[in-house]
Chains A and B, each alone.
Chain A
Amino acid sequence: MRKKIEMVLERIRACGAEYGDIRIIDTIKESITTEDQMVADIIDSRSKGAGIRVILDGSLGFAATQDLSNLAETVERAIQIAQAGRMLQKEKIVLAAKEAVQDEYNTPIEIDPFTISKEDKINLLLRAEKAMREAAKLSRTTGSMVFQRQDKIYADTEGSYIVQRLYESGAGIEAVVNSETDSQIRSYPNSSGGNHATAGYEFVESLKLVENAPRIAIEAERLINAEQCPSGHYDLIIDSSQMALQIHESIGHATELDRIFGSEAAYAGMSFLLPGTINDNFKYGSEFVTVVADATIPKGLGSFGYDDDGVKAQKTVLIDKGMLKNYQTSRDTASKIGQLSNGTNRADGWSNIPIVRMTNINLLPGSFELDELIKGIDDGFYLCTNKSWSIDDKRLNFQFSCEIAHEIKNGKLTGKIYKNPIYTGITPKFWGSCDGVGNEKHWILYGVPNCGKGQPGQVAHVGHGSAPARFRNVKVGVEDVK
Chain B
Amino acid sequence: MLNKKESYAIIDKVLSYCNYYTMATLISHEEGLTRFANSEIHQNVFKSNNTLEITIHDGKKQSKNSTNILDDESLKELVRKTEQNLKFMPEGEYEIPKVTAPAEIANEEYDAELESAFGIPGRASLIKSCIESLDDDYTASGAFSLSKMVFAMGNNSGIKRFCRLDNVSFNTVITHKNGPSGYAEYATDKSADMDVTKLFNSAYSKAKAALNPESLEPGSYTVILEPLAVGDLLSYMSYVGFSAKSVDTGISFLAGKKGQQVFGENISIYDDHTDGNTFSLPFDFEGYERRKLNIIDQGVAKELAYDIRTALKEGVDTTGHGLGEASTGGFPINLIMKNGAKSLEDIIKETDNAILVTRFHYMNVVDPKKALFTALTRDGLYMVKNGQISHAVKNMRFTESMLNAFNKVTEVSKDRTKVPGFFGVSYVPALKIDDFHFTGKTE
Contacts and interface: CB of A to CB of B under 8 A. Distances in A.
Contact of B369 (A47, A63, A183): A183
Interface string B197-237: 00000000000000000000011100000000000000000
**Interface size for chain B: under 10, 10 to 19, 20 to 34, or 35 or more residues?**
35 or more
Interface in B45-101: 45-51, 53, 62-69, 81-82, 85, 88-90, 92-93
A183 B368 contact: yes
A14 interface: no
A249 B365 CA distance: 16
Interface string A37-49: 0111111111111
A117 B440 contact: no
A142 B326 CA distance: 12
Interface stretch (B33-41, B273-281, B333-341, B349-357): B33-41
A181 B44 contact: no
B31 A388 contact: no
Contacts of B378: 269, 392-393
B35 to A, nearest CB: 6
A42 B89 contact: yes
A398 to B, nearest CB: 9
B113 interface: no
A43 B47 contact: no
A77 to B, nearest CB: 6
B259 interface: no
Nearest to B39: A90
A351 interface: yes
Nearest to B85: A118
Query: For this complex, into which size category does the number of interface residues on chain A fall?
Result: 35 or more
B424 interface: no
B250 A183 contact: yes
B173 interface: yes
Contacts of B124: 84-85, 87-88
Contact of B142 (A46, A266, A388): A266
Contact of A420 (B44, B218, B367, B395): B367
Given A43-B64, A66-B68, A456 B374 contact: no
Contacts of B362: 269, 390-393
A262 B141 contact: yes
Interface of B: 31-51, 53, 62-69, 81-82, 85, 88-90, 92-93, 120-121, 123-125, 127-128, 131, 139, 141-143, 145, 171-173, 175, 183, 218-220, 249-251, 255-256, 325-327, 361-369, 374-376, 378, 395, 397, 399, 437-443
A47 B47 CA distance: 13
Contacts of A65: 47-49
A180 interface: yes
A267 B378 CA distance: 11
Contacts of A351: 47, 49
A246 interface: no
B222 to A, nearest CB: 15
A316 to B, nearest CB: 24
A275 to B, nearest CB: 12
Contacts of A59: 41, 44
Interface string A345-357: 0000001110100
Contacts of A355: 43
A266 B85 contact: no
Given A44-B82, A81-B120, A88 B88 contact: no
17 contacts: A44-B65, A45-B66, A46-B68, A51-B47, A61-B44, A63-B45, A87-B125, A88-B39, A180-B256, A265-B173, A267-B171, A390-B363, A390-B364, A456-B145, A478-B399, A478-B437, A482-B220
A234 interface: no
A41 B45 contact: no
Given A44-B64, A48-B69, A63-B45, A261 B399 contact: no
Nearest to A355: B43
Contacts of A397: 376, 395, 397, 440-442
Contact of A481 (B368, B437, B442): B437
Contacts of B250: 139-140, 176, 178, 183
Contacts of B395: 392, 397
A178 B93 CA distance: 22
Contact of B442 (A88, A180, A266, A394): A394
A90 B219 CA distance: 44
Given A66-B48, A139-B250, A267 B143 contact: yes
Contact of B68 (A44, A49, A396): A49
Contacts of A176: 249-251
Contacts of B67: 45-47
User: DSSP class of B's interface residues: helix, strand, loop or mixed?
Assistant: strand
Contacts of B44: 59-62, 81-82, 84-85
B376 A392 contact: yes
B88 A119 contact: yes
A266 B171 CA distance: 7
Interface string A75-104: 001101110110111110000000000000
A122 B142 contact: no
Given A263-B42, A392-B378, A88 B127 contact: yes
Given A45-B67, A90-B39, A118-B85, 7 more contacts: A44-B65, A45-B65, A263-B37, A266-B142, A393-B361, A396-B443, A481-B440
A426 B395 CA distance: 13
B151 to A, nearest CB: 17
A46 B50 CA distance: 12
A50 B226 CA distance: 41
Max chain A Cβ within 10 angstroms of own Cβ: one of B89, B399, B443: B399
Contacts of A47: 49, 51, 67-68
A182 interface: yes
Contacts of B89: 39, 42, 118
B38 A261 contact: yes
A122 B251 contact: no
A33 B92 contact: no
Contacts of A88: 36, 39-41, 124, 127-128, 131
Given A47-B67, A178-B250, A388-B366, A81 B127 contact: no
Given A389-B364, A399-B374, A41 B64 contact: yes
A463 B142 CA distance: 29
A85 B81 CA distance: 44
Contacts of A455: 33, 35, 43, 143, 145
Given A88-B127, A90-B39, A455-B145, A269 B34 contact: no
A46 B64 CA distance: 12
B66 A46 contact: yes
B120 A269 contact: no
Interface string A261-279: 1111111010000000000
A481 B361 contact: no
A422 interface: yes
A160 interface: no
Interface centre among A64, A266, A389 (most CB of B within 10 A): A266
Interface in A380-409: 387-394, 396-397, 399, 401
B6 to A, nearest CB: 14
Nearest to A43: B64
B399 A399 contact: yes
Interface string A160-187: 0000000000000000101011110000
Contacts of A266: 37, 141-143, 171-173, 183
Given A85-B41, A390-B374, A392-B361, A44 B47 contact: no
A35 interface: yes
Contact of B251 (A63, A126, A178, A390): A178
Among B49, B51, B251, B365: residue with most chain A CB under 10 A? B49
Contact of A353 (B43, B143, B442): B43
Given A39-B92, A263-B37, A266-B171, A44 B142 contact: no
Contacts of B36: 88
A148 to B, nearest CB: 14
A308 B191 CA distance: 36
A36 to B, nearest CB: 9
